[in-house]
Structure 1
Amino acid sequence: MSLNIIDRHKLILKKLEANGFVTVNGLSDDFNVSLVTIRKDLKLLEEKKLLFRSHGKAVPVNPYITESTVKIKEKIHIEEKNKIAIAAAQTLEPNDSIIIASGTSVIEFARHIKPLEGLTVLTASLNTAIILTKIKGIDIMQLGGTVRSSSASVIGPIGEKMLAEFTFTKLFLGVDGIDIDYGLTTTNLMEASLNKEMIKASQKLIVLADSSKFNKKGFGRICGLNEVDQIITDSGLDEKTKNRLLELGVELTIV
């Protein structure tokens, strides 16, 4: 196949859209051009922000996440987070003892919690604790530790030691990224460490994540998807990812 650079670029983007990724070796074979030529093609397309190069391949967007503050995050995907929060609140049962981690998805979840007999909540999020104080009949425990100003939540060994003293029925976890192979991630290493201890202290892990979080990676790995019991997300989740999650045995709730 002999193509000029414009036609090659069009076909590269078409293959990328169809398959979700392209490889340098594969494109070199398809177009019968050198590896150097393909790398130059991908570099030009990346400069135009049409793809992201990584380890001999290219994907549609940069899968790596940079940290944003709660104030920024709470202004995006508002409708999706609201639907996810409503569905999460419906999983609560009388006498549940739950952990609510940190992030805008779990803060929205807290807003939809109704008075429930025997409900105990431990949270790392200061905003979540404040919201829950307005709901009668809930025993609230604030996790101790160092406060992160960007997320208004606590991290550190004090909170990790505190978690070792309790057992909870459910953990409601917000994440920055979900990658099928790599698992759940966040942008902060200490938060990832605290989340690991939350998982150890809980009988069931429920992840609240809008569809924009999928196929993304943060700096700190929390756990693999084999440790996840349920994911609540929105209808924007692509079919390929949905099927992979179901194959892994993850309970998937689409709202």
Structure 2
Amino acid sequence: MSENQNLLAEQRRALILDEVRRRGGVRVNELTRKLGVSDMTVRRDLDALARQGVLEKVHGGAVPVVEASTHEPGFEAKSGLEPTAKEEIARAAAELVAPGAAIALSGGTTTYALAHRLVEVPDLTVVTNSVRVADVFHAAQRSAGVRPGTATVVLTGGVRTPSDSLVGPVADQAIAALHFDVLFLGVHGISAEAGLSTPNLAEAETNRRLVQSARRVVVIADHTKWGVVGLSSFASLDQVDTLVTDAGLPEEARAEVAEHLRVVVAGEAEETGRTAAAGGPDETG
């Protein structure tokens, strides 16, 4: 029996997507041989990936979706993609936050999931350009059923994007005047060549300012972001300290990323070891 038969569905689909993107298309019979699974299993995987909009089924196989590099899905559309992976990533990323830290959260659905995990961490200062993230902390402070961690939330101004981030000169100026221990950054796309990228030019500049103002940069991104390239790159992999991702990221991609930064795979953190919590009051330089 091929060891690939033991892969979880998400891992298997990530391998399929990586193969489609790398080769520009694959046939079903090629995938059955490579993965050691049935024709029906491969077709179900292709159906699932096609529903996510990350590939297009064709007769006998699949090809990549050719999407404009300027296309930016709305927040609600992105919320429905990889919800389990995002929750696992948020849980792992939350373990990197110490009480009393000054942190920044960029816009995005994965940082939104992380915000829900941080509402009970004591004495945080949270800088964010995400309306959704700020709302999570404000709602927790108003709710009698939640014991919030008394976070101080700084919401930048700016122009609202389809993903409910605030960007532009107003946001950039506010961020440039601040300094935080760690930035948790959601991304549209990540690759070895293009680094971190977004389809929104104004958001790219705001993200550059966030990266410049952070002592440490932690990217939180599920496996479907790998190999995606938006219109504008705003940081190289060498500017990132840690990537927190899910088990669907193929081993080849993990190895490529690990040449530049530390990789934490949600659910495998216990095996790979943990670093000290980020941004605690006792942390130095």
| TM-score interval, normalised by the smaller of the two chains | 0.7 to 0.9
SS of residue paired to 2:243: strand
Q: Which of 74-83 and 128-137 deviates more?
A: 128-137
- Which residue number corresponds to residue 109 of structure 1? 114
**Structure 1 position 208 matched with structure 2 position 216:** no
**Structure 1 position 68 matched with structure 2 position 73:** yes
The structure 2 residue matched to 1:141, chosen from 136, 154, 174, is 154
**CA positional deviation for 1:145:** 1.1
**1:30-45 equivalences in 2 (<5 Å):** none
The structure 2 residue matched to 1:251, chosen from 262, 265, 273, is 262
- Which residue number corresponds to residue 188 of structure 2? 176
Q: Can you give the 5+ residue segments of structure 2 that lack an aligned partner in the other structure? A: 1-17, 25-55, 142-147, 267-285
Structure 2 length-normalised TM: 0.68
- When residues 119 and 193 of structure 1 are mapped into structure 2, their CA distance, relative to the original with a 3 A threshold, is same
SS of residue paired to 1:98: strand
8 Å Cα contact 2:159-2:167 kept in structure 1: yes
SS of residue paired to 1:185: strand
Find the aligned partners of 1:64 and 1:177 in 2 and give their Cα distance: 13
- When residues 236 and 47 of structure 1 are mapped into structure 2, their CA distance, relative to the original with a 3 A threshold, is closer
**Structure 1 position 225 matched with structure 2 position 237:** yes
8 Å Cα contact 1:63-1:217 kept in structure 2: no
- Whose Rg is larger? 1
C-alpha root-mean-square deviation of aligned residues, in Å? Answer: 2.3
SS of residue paired to 2:118: coil
8 Å Cα contact 1:171-1:205 kept in structure 2: yes
The structure 2 residue matched to 1:197, chosen from 193, 196, 209, is 209
- Which residue number corresponds to residue 22 of structure 2? 20
SS of residue paired to 1:67: coil
Find the aligned partners of 1:91 and 1:47 in 2 and give their Cα distance: 40
**CA positional deviation for 1:184:** 0.4
**CA positional deviation for 1:89:** 0.9
Identity, in percent, stands at 29
- Which residue number corresponds to residue 56 of structure 1? none
- Which residue number corresponds to residue 92 of structure 2? 87
Find the aligned partners of 1:212 and 1:224 in 2 and give their Cα distance: 18
Count of aligned residue pairs for this structure pair: 208
Matched AA of 2:258: L
Matched AA of 1:252: V
Find the aligned partners of 1:229 and 1:188 in 2 and give their Cα distance: 24
**CA positional deviation for 1:161:** 0.8
Find the aligned partners of 1:112 and 1:51 in 2 and give their Cα distance: 37
Find the aligned partners of 2:78 and 2:133 in 1 and give their Cα distance: 15
**CA positional deviation for 1:68:** 0.6
The structure 2 residue matched to 1:122, chosen from 119, 122, 127, is 127
SS of residue paired to 2:214: coil
- Which residue number corresponds to residue 13 of structure 1? none
Find the aligned partners of 1:100 and 1:18 in 2 and give their Cα distance: 32
**CA positional deviation for 1:21:** 3.4
Find the aligned partners of 2:259 and 2:83 in 1 and give their Cα distance: 29
Deviations 1:153-197 (A, max 9, x none): 211111111112111001011001001111000111100100000
- When residues 240 and 19 of structure 1 are mapped into structure 2, their CA distance, relative to the original with a 3 A threshold, is farther
The structure 2 residue matched to 1:131, chosen from 109, 128, 136, is 136
- Which residue number corresponds to residue 235 of structure 1? 247
Find the aligned partners of 1:109 and 1:64 in 2 and give their Cα distance: 29
SS of residue paired to 1:170: strand
- When residues 47 and 141 of structure 1 are mapped into structure 2, their CA distance, relative to the original with a 3 A threshold, is closer
Deviations 1:24-58 (A, max 9, x none): xxxxxxxxxxxxxxxxxxxxxx9959676xxxxxx
Find the aligned partners of 1:51 and 1:205 in 2 and give their Cα distance: 36
**CA positional deviation for 1:92:** 0.4
